[in-house]
Structure 1
């Protein structure tokens, strides 16, 4: 009995002692960038399996033994943090740095299970949700500009519905598309599908840049891969409800071009000097029309609004995680009759059914309405409406608009009235469902099947209203309906195993992609009334119908082998066979491959103790990929059914076909390294060389063949360059959640044509001003301007060399002519079509809940033909119309050095003067915000987070380009709708 009592006493003592030593530690984990709580963060006692996760409010609670221990905090997309907890301490709050500091925690999603960037041989750059969200534009990719080295993102228009122009590492093809492959949660989509989704639903955008990361996608991946991952909930997290609204106003990013027109006094004096009107007649004219109209202020609206509202619910219970969102976006354009409205709904669900089956279903859809002003390019009722003389006004003396009546003196109806009476509208219903089943029958063996659809239904309506006083009772109507369904089905099997320090991953897969687009339309005319504006009410004898159908199919088999030794030396190899219906029967199948290696040098003994070197990783890869971005039937001899023979319908051949048409191929080699110094400075440098061969070029034919162009595999193109990414911590202070982190990205790229067709050394693309010449970059070809002869005021152009005049540039002052000939004076200007330097820089900073993000973007060596100047700097050709102020510098007296010739000559020809340096520096994004302290929010009992922020886009633009917008991604700019400058604010509440 005594021994029993002694034993019980000992057990009670041990238990009480253990209870006395055990303690509960609590805290909150927030994001360093904006101070908002992070759910689902893993909190673990170092070197143990004891841990917990944060709830929806970023809070955790963990029982740990007494004494000093180390706690590890980690979450996907954030840099892990380890903190030593002193004996007796019961609370520790942590701020985690975003993935722009250390991409090791970002899972790269693709075929098979995810791979962390630190173990991925391929070159992958990832942009987090915080970069994409809360921007005042519909297009999510606009936020990527300047953020990823090597990725060029230009927005060429201020239309709210505009998609971005995206290229990776230069122009990849002279004949086919240079756009990358876009994937949304693993399913191929068109870029327009990203425009029609809510940017705030995006978790991350990964840019796959080298062969090791893209070759597994084989077909269509020659120009890189943009992989968009949407947000998901977290199992074990309480429901988090977020409500956000933002409002902004927009104006053209720069009005310098529009303010550079002659006023009434200047234009009237110029026309007197031209002899168009006597001083007395001019005085009489101005007495009748005493105006000085700024037509730009009439044509472009000011401070047009943009609204966006989002509601999201995310979390997870049991074995299911969910993310549900709805949004509304309404953006108005600065041109009248320009706008974009969008409604979206998304539901992402993942569930673990048991120990070996996991399923997921993403359902997303939306509806968008696009309104576009059809008066574009060189329409004098559109962008060229600025030719209107300033003494005429669209308003009468009382300020009433001449709407529906001819503007006195000008003899025209107002551009606003014409646009209102010729509307164009498009409604698009989009749907992007994806689902997967993942089975793990045995440990480390994963079988996954995934399927998805990228689809839309369009209805386009264009009309001329019956009430248009220009054509009374003669309304026209066209209705156009189209439906596109692209399906992707992917099956993979992956096995991971280790032999001591040797780690292997083997992946095999099959993929099937097909797409079908069906369209039909109808039109009618002589509609008598706006209230009866439907097709059947038009003239029965004047109706038309049309229809169209197009299909394609891809079938693919692929495999990948990954190996690493002790997580220090990495090798991977991939191979993919693609078969495409777009190519000829003889060349439908192609095989692509890649090999790559990576060395985590910092883990070597001779570097492990080098304290100033925090990280050093070296990587290299080479491989091939393909491009199939052409029409669906270009390999076939197709026929059209619009011919008539002897009064009966018939068909005629309209394309010769090419049964040997095959894949455009590209090989890319990349070498780079990533280093970190003093745990504060991070540098990523990557050199690349890619060669495109068997290009898909439309080769010109002799017209006697019956065809002008035939798509052919011919020609070669090189791109080589370097990507540089640098960011560093100027200041950090965890106590005050303070940091200042500048960054810079840069891509330097050079292109060179190495092979053309038909034995040609050069080829001038008709009507483009663009030259392809062997051994040269893509360049501009125009007559070279030699200036105005100061003795007689005549224009002068350089006389080119004989022979290959389009290859060699000649600017000999002794070889000039005043007789203009576009054909005979044409020569290589030596000006490159594409910019050699693109990138961005900025700073992210914060202090005690205040956060600041400043992002600049730049492009150097960008040139563009400013076609607007041909109209606005030509008073002798467009006599009587308004002109730019620059035309006042014309030759008047002998010995004068003038910009333009004398008044007997045409001021501007299509020559090298129109090629302008469109390099630019833009303040792309500025955001300043404040997170309300938790001490205030706790009193509400409901609000867990509150953020108010100021936002702006394209706030400043610096450029020498004299046109409306230097960012237009084209060889020629005419009537461009400039990008917008937007300022606004937003409010986000988390419950």
Structure 2
């Protein structure tokens, strides 16, 4: 019995010792940059066997058999691995992981609810960080995104400093409604004009939501994709003051067109051959005006300045973070009285009241002044100014400019004078406040209510001063006041839960959006003096006034469910119910949905040991969305005032309306694969198929109805394409003392095809555009097809088209040629597509020992434009006497000659296929070279935490075959456009 008791006693002692040597440790794994939890992170004993993974909230539990100190290793895909020492007897250890520069796993906003890491998002989301959009010498932040996101086409069509960019994601999704993506600023809808009023240096990131899984939760507004802009926040525990200033100069991005006109000798000789004047008369003219003047340098300024200054204070203490900034931007355009200056202020405050409640408020306000040159199109004082004959000069013999008088011989006023006496000024007040409160009543449940608005007041003033010598004492004035306010209120409830290795996130929400726009304007004539340039001082009988009010609203309910198993297999689904005031009473509601899946294949056992493969992810999604981007009252029959009738107020019908008008619908299917290998190469491929039906098209009506068109749901369109994104490390930062070289390339291949039209038509030519819609074909150009100059007699020739519906098939039969021109009778499908089939960008980032550089090219292939400028500059017989492009000298004179233009007895240029030019281009979009001063040098100041200087350039080089001023114009036709510009400058940034 004693032996039995002794044995039992010894067993209990050894058991207690063994139990004492086992410990259960817990903790949370978060990202060092943002403090957000990292699900699926591996936590294990270094060089041991014990290990586990973190749950959806980043928490882990690990049982180890050691009471002493032990090293614990934390790792996760997209983060650098760290090792931390667990002290003896300690039971809690947290891990904070840094982003791996090779496989960045950033946190992005891809819809409602909390931010999610890229590695856990099923949808296709591309994020552009602050470095892409900041420190650019233009007001428009989106201009800097050109060529940076596969599938996102960004074109800037004007050199006006206040110009906005046109954006298109995955082709043209609608033939009748807008193709502009939805812009969200910190979760609140804003219009594209608000982007120009935003300081790009306040942007933290722009997330581009591309596929149905990512966009469909936005339902009614997501047919063209979503761009989610997140502004900067402060970090608790830090405090920084950043001051930055930059200066650059602006010039024309590509001046080949302007340097291609005839000089005095060439033009005078041509006009003598035309018979416009005899040689003696020409000699006498040139004796009176002995000049060979370059009008390009006169109408377009050189080295127009651009200034920008920024000051921001950011940081946080306790439970509150802050980011406060102010900026000033001023840019002068290359045309006279073309300019833009902007002042902005932003204050982003976030605070945590307790463990359950936090709130934040973002206040953004600004004012900007805009001046635009009013002669930038079909005007000899602007876009067509180089028609001026070179023997005339705007300066007298003493070098004094003719200002306020007609230029002798030319009969025009100085462009400076014209702009001074015909001013256009716009002032914009912008206000974008956003506020939220977030409550966590129980564990893993988050309620968030957010409200915000996009508001602006724009005042436009333009007219003619009474001092204008062409109309002394008869000034005119027009003023317009435009107040636009869009309000958004969103409430969401998000719940995260998990068991075993099954992780769920459920979200439900409600949203209300309404917009109101008030406008009124006044006009007057007969103003007597510049000092009384006010509306009330015009002639009492010649005053006008008008006003308008438009409103719209959306009501929405939505939900999303996300599931993943082992952070390896992912599924998500979303549904949204939308109601829009823009549609007929019985057509206002629509339901949109999406489902998506993702498989992190690299985590499978059959690939986990493949050392050269770092990551491999397969994703797919399908879903629907809607488009309602039309006028506010197009479903309603409306009336307008028709003036007095027999002394009484009268009304007349304005639009027929369409009570059956409803949602334009779209379905999008995407399949993508994302991979990284050899610790240096990253490749992302995505195929998509986009179908649009029930398009919102203005369908032509018989004139007997009294209406030219009626908006109708009809027609179908397809887009299909492939996105390719590739970047790789030639040198990794860890390879050679921080040296790195990372080239990148991205491309979008897209084809569109019309599959249904209206009224049983097989094709339709949009009036006055040269654009053809034909079933079974892409959107194309329709013009008479040029057949060249008849070398025997010098007559121009065109191909005869097929008859009837055969017009949609290109015919270039040498046996069917005519020299009798008819714009309508000879029009046919040129076979040239309206939209480019390839867009993208390439470049590289590099740095070493404090020096860094970034080089970004953008390109577009298969882009075509109707170069309407050539109709004026290659038509010496139609526009006799005006200057011309040098190419007109290649005209027919003798039988057998192969000439570009016909004989001088013929019209050189008609509106035919010759004007449709290949406007494909490659542009050096951005170049920046800088130096970050070393920390050991800055530490000596005891004040400066960081300092850098940088050189910057935009649109520095342009390569194109297009002969017009600018190939980037996003239109079917270009005529007298204010051309795109390039900037070169430098900047300085100091951080305290």
* Common topology (TM > 0.5): yes
Which residue pairs with 1:189 in the alignment? 190
> How much has 1:67 moved relative to structure 2?
9.7
> How much has 1:80 moved relative to structure 2?
2.8
Pairing 1:320-359 to 2, within 5 Å after superposition: 320-359=320-359
User: Using the alignment, how far apart are the partners of 2:85 and 2:112 within structure 1?
Assistant: 44
Which residue pairs with 1:584 in the alignment? 584
User: Using the alignment, how far apart are the partners of 1:521 and 1:541 within structure 2?
Assistant: 17
> How much has 1:46 moved relative to structure 2?
7.2
> How much has 1:857 moved relative to structure 2?
0.3
Which residue pairs with 1:57 in the alignment? none
Which residue pairs with 1:645 in the alignment? 645
Q: Deviations over 1:2-39 (max 9, x none)?
A: xxxxxxxxxxxxxxxxxxxxxxxxxxx99xxxxxxx89
Q: Deviations over 1:307-346 (max 9, x none)?
A: 0000010001000010000000000100111000000000
Which residue pairs with 1:80 in the alignment? 79
Q: Quick check: 265-274 or 102-111, which moved more?
A: 102-111
> How much has 1:235 moved relative to structure 2?
1.7
Which residue pairs with 1:150 in the alignment? 151
Determine if the alignment matches structure 1 residue 286 to structure 2 residue 286.
Answer: yes
User: Using the alignment, how far apart are the partners of 1:344 and 1:909 within structure 2?
Assistant: 49
SS in 2 for 1:632: coil
- For the 8 Å contact 1:505–1:563, the answer to whether it is kept is yes
Pairing 1:280-429 to 2, within 5 Å after superposition: 280-429=280-429
User: Using the alignment, how far apart are the partners of 2:694 and 2:440 within structure 1?
Assistant: 42
Pairing 1:88-99 to 2, within 5 Å after superposition: none
> How much has 1:586 moved relative to structure 2?
1.6
Which residue pairs with 1:984 in the alignment? 985
User: Using the alignment, how far apart are the partners of 1:132 and 1:446 within structure 2?
Assistant: 32
What TM-score, normalized by structure 1, do the two folds share?
0.92
Question: CA 1:126/1:766 → structure 2, altered by over 3 Å: closer, same or farther?
Answer: same
Q: Quick check: 102-111 or 505-514, which moved more?
A: 102-111
Which residue pairs with 1:10 in the alignment? none
Structure 1 runs of 4+ aligned residues shifted over 4 Å read 38-49, 65-74, 83-87, 94-99
Which residue pairs with 2:3 in the alignment? none
SS in 2 for 1:267: helix
Which residue pairs with 1:52 in the alignment? none
- For the 8 Å contact 2:553–2:580, the answer to whether it is kept is yes
Question: CA 1:66/1:214 → structure 2, altered by over 3 Å: closer, same or farther?
Answer: same
Which residue pairs with 2:803 in the alignment? 802
Pairing 1:147-546 to 2, within 5 Å after superposition: 147-237=148-238, 239-546=239-546
User: Using the alignment, how far apart are the partners of 2:269 and 2:81 within structure 1?
Assistant: 76
User: Using the alignment, how far apart are the partners of 1:601 and 1:96 within structure 2?
Assistant: 24
CA RMSD between the two structures = 2.2
- For the 8 Å contact 1:385–1:415, the answer to whether it is kept is no
User: Using the alignment, how far apart are the partners of 1:842 and 1:95 within structure 2?
Assistant: 29
Which residue pairs with 2:773 in the alignment? 772
User: Using the alignment, how far apart are the partners of 1:569 and 1:626 within structure 2?
Assistant: 29
Question: CA 1:643/1:48 → structure 2, altered by over 3 Å: closer, same or farther?
Answer: farther
- For the 8 Å contact 1:40–1:234, the answer to whether it is kept is no
Which residue pairs with 2:92 in the alignment? none
> How much has 1:618 moved relative to structure 2?
0.2
Question: CA 1:125/1:67 → structure 2, altered by over 3 Å: closer, same or farther?
Answer: same
Pairing 1:590-669 to 2, within 5 Å after superposition: 590-669=590-669
User: Using the alignment, how far apart are the partners of 1:287 and 1:862 within structure 2?
Assistant: 46
Which residue pairs with 2:701 in the alignment? 701
User: Using the alignment, how far apart are the partners of 1:841 and 1:95 within structure 2?
Assistant: 31
Question: CA 1:73/1:231 → structure 2, altered by over 3 Å: closer, same or farther?
Answer: farther
SS in 2 for 1:104: coil
- For the 8 Å contact 1:70–1:82, the answer to whether it is kept is no
Q: Deviations over 1:568-606 (max 9, x none)?
A: 110011100000000011200000000110000000000
Q: Deviations over 1:204-230 (max 9, x none)?
A: 000000000110000111010000000
What TM-score, normalized by structure 2, do the two folds share?
0.92
> How much has 1:416 moved relative to structure 2?
2.4
- For the 8 Å contact 1:103–1:126, the answer to whether it is kept is no
SS in 2 for 1:397: coil
Determine if the alignment matches structure 1 residue 852 to structure 2 residue 853.
Answer: yes
Which residue pairs with 1:60 in the alignment? none
Tell me the number of residue pairs that the alignment of Structure 1 and Structure 2 aligns: 930
- For the 8 Å contact 1:68–1:84, the answer to whether it is kept is no
> How much has 1:157 moved relative to structure 2?
0.6
User: Using the alignment, how far apart are the partners of 1:531 and 1:328 within structure 2?
Assistant: 30
- In structure 1, stretches of 5+ residues that fail to align are 1-28, 31-37, 50-64, 88-93
Which residue pairs with 1:688 in the alignment? 688
Determine if the alignment matches structure 1 residue 677 to structure 2 residue 677.
Answer: yes
Question: CA 1:952/1:79 → structure 2, altered by over 3 Å: closer, same or farther?
Answer: farther
User: Using the alignment, how far apart are the partners of 2:249 and 2:640 within structure 1?
Assistant: 49
Which residue pairs with 1:792 in the alignment? 793
User: Using the alignment, how far apart are the partners of 1:408 and 1:233 within structure 2?
Assistant: 62
Question: CA 1:566/1:585 → structure 2, altered by over 3 Å: closer, same or farther?
Answer: same
SS in 2 for 1:219: helix
Q: Deviations over 1:106-150 (max 9, x none)?
A: 232531111211111110000000111011110000111010000
SS in 2 for 1:906: coil
Determine if the alignment matches structure 1 residue 903 to structure 2 residue 908.
Answer: no
- For the 8 Å contact 2:79–2:104, the answer to whether it is kept is no
User: Using the alignment, how far apart are the partners of 1:242 and 1:217 within structure 2?
Assistant: 36
Which residue pairs with 1:715 in the alignment? 715
- For the 8 Å contact 2:43–2:75, the answer to whether it is kept is no
